[in-house]
Amino acid sequence: MAGPPHSTCHPPLLVDTEQLHSPFRLQEGKVGLVGNELCNVLYRQRLSKSTAYSVQDEMLCAGDFSTGKAICQGDSGGPLVCELPTAWVLVGLASWGFDCRHPIYPSVFTRVGYFSDWIHEIQMLTPPPDPTSAPQTPFPGQPLSTASSSGHPAALVPPQTWLLLLCAFRDPQ
């Protein structure tokens, strides 16, 4: 699933990391999906028609040309989620892009739906873990925090949750 056409999606963005205190707080960025063909045209213009950075079928691009929101160093592996009428769906994982300063280029994400069959195959080959063998993780005693820069609350949850969401909302083929 790549998200519906003209979707508005939200990657977490680490911006201006020098001003962030440990632990870094994720920031939300509202971006639009950009077609791979346009994304390739933009990257080739900058790279003198080089194909070293071409966007393939297993990738998708997202960005906001008006605000310059894009992924930056430290964002790799982070989720790109799109809001559908009934749920938020994981559609991409932050992969690469040019520097996070202007002029901005779309960010490139791994297209999660492209790998859903493979993920499902691996899940079928892997026995479920024994819940009693999981290490105990100390909980800091504070409630799950939320981030909301656009008026849409988004819970900050562990990375394993994104894999669970992928399985729940996988792209049927």
| Per-residue pLDDT tens over the stretch 27-81 | 778 889 999 999 998 888 777 665 567 899 999 999 888 887 788 877 889 999 9
Whose tokens are 């520097």? That residue is 99
Q: Has residue 159 got a pLDDT over 70?
A: no
How far apart CA 61 and CA 106 sit, in angstroms, is 6
Q: What is the mean pLDDT of residues 160-167?
A: 53
Whether the pTM exceeds 0.75: the reply is no
Q: Which domains does the chain have, with CATH numbers?
A: 8-126+145-168 (2.40.10.10)
